[in-house]
Amino acid sequence: MKDVHAMAPAQGRLTLRQVGVSGIRKPIAIQRADRVITLSGEFSVAVDLPSGRKGSDLSRNAELLAEIVDQTVMRPAESLESACSEIGRELLARHPYATESHVSATAEYFLRKGISEDRTSLENYTLLADAHARRTEDSTVELVRGIGAEAVGMTACPCAMETCRERLAKTYPLLNDPSMKDLPMITHNQRNRTRLMFDLSPGVEVEVDDIIAAIEAAQSSPTYAILKRGDEAQLVLNAHRQPKFVEDVLRDLLAGLSKRFPSLPDSVIVQAKTTSEESIHKYNVAASHQITLGELRENSAQ
């Protein structure tokens, strides 16, 4: 059969940066400490395409994903990002004309959590992973991996809390009594969606459950599926004791990373984004930042 992909392109002889397949859905089995879990994931992969070649051999991408990801049912992967790394390397092996590969994946993930030990259930999160492999001049492969997660939690606005207190104190003068100074005050709450991602160099590992814990610690409160009446009051109280703008969520998240991940090298790049689906507006508010762990450490040392 004529190999149309290997022919020269009709015009526009450009090396294209990324050609691949996107939105492939796959189950992926992952080995956790105590058991194997199966996640529903979505994968996108791409390689560059040299100027002399009309098309990229896309069927190789689907084959490779089937081999590596489908096989985890038999032989579970270590993690979503380890699967991405393996895919990234293998893409370069199967596309000998390519010099770079890009892999990204998301998967729904569940952790048993609860506001108390006897009220736990499986809470849903999103895992994020990517890999970027590059063929070097001496034909070895350099690989950069990313690992992250998104967690939905709650924020309570610190500003409305203050203005409501001032306003209510006019009608309810007892609010000015010193004993009432710390009474949590009404404000507006939102569903908050925060993601944190680490770009890791070779040999460095991060546990995704720790990423989720870092995010939930930075929100006004985590959220839970099961809340009996007393739990609900407790969670509301917790959130109002820690009122936060998205700016606070982002800064608290980043400021806490040095302590949470002391062994990670300074070169690790951190990306974070937090979005609050405002209850008082029809739109969202969002804050995002990118920084290295080294810069974060320098900053907190000041």
Residue 266 binds to a second copy (criterion: CB under 8 A): no
Please report which helix (H) or strand (E) contains residue 270, including its range. strand 269-277
Residue 267 binds to a second copy (criterion: CB under 8 A): no
Site map 191..210 versus a second copy, x via CB under 8 A: x-------------------
Considering only residues 93 to 132 of the shown chain, the ones binding a second copy according to CB under 8 A are 108, 110, 112, 120-124
Q: How far is CA 81 from CA 16, 131, 237, 290, in A?
A: 25, 7, 37, 20
Q: How far is CA 164 from CA 83, 243, 269, in A?
A: 51, 13, 40
98 close to 49: Cβ distance less than 8 angstroms? yes
97 close to 50: Cβ distance less than 8 angstroms? yes
215 close to 194: Cβ distance less than 8 angstroms? yes
Residue 251 binds to a second copy (criterion: CB under 8 A): yes
Q: Which is nearer to a second copy, 203 or 268 (CB)?
A: 268
- Token code pair at residue 151: 């967690």
Considering only residues 28 to 57 of the shown chain, the ones binding a second copy according to CB under 8 A are 37-40, 44, 46, 49, 54-56
Residue 22 binds to a second copy (criterion: CB under 8 A): yes
Task: Cite the DSSP H helix spans in 144-192.
Answer: 158-171
Separation CA 82–CA 103 (nearest Å): 11
Residue 75 binds to a second copy (criterion: CB under 8 A): no
In the complex, the smallest distance separating the C-beta of residue 135 from a second copy, rounded to whole angstroms, is: 19
Residue 180 binds to a second copy (criterion: CB under 8 A): yes
- Token code pair at residue 16: 């294209």
Considering only residues 138 to 177 of the shown chain, the ones binding a second copy according to CB under 8 A are 152, 154, 157-160, 162-164, 166-168, 172-175, 177
Please report which helix (H) or strand (E) contains residue 47, including its range. strand 36-49
Tell me which of 1, 75, 117, 136 binds a second copy, using CB under 8 A. 1
Tell me which of 98, 127, 239, 264 binds a second copy, using CB under 8 A. 239
Give the residue from 98, 87, 104 showing the smallest Cα distance to 52: 98
Stretch that binds a second copy, among 62-70, 89-97, 131-139, 195-203 (CB under 8 A): 62-70
- Say how many C-beta atoms besides its own lie within 10 A of residue 133's C-beta: 25
The residue count for binding a second copy (CB under 8 A) is 124
Tell me which of 79, 216, 240, 293 binds a second copy, using CB under 8 A. 240
Tell me which of 78, 205, 209, 277 binds a second copy, using CB under 8 A. 277
Tell me which of 52, 210, 233, 266 binds a second copy, using CB under 8 A. 233
User: What backbone phi and psi angles, to 5 degrees, belong to 125?
Assistant: -135, 170
Stretch that binds a second copy, among 92-100, 142-150, 201-209, 221-229 (CB under 8 A): 221-229
Residue 8 binds to a second copy (criterion: CB under 8 A): no
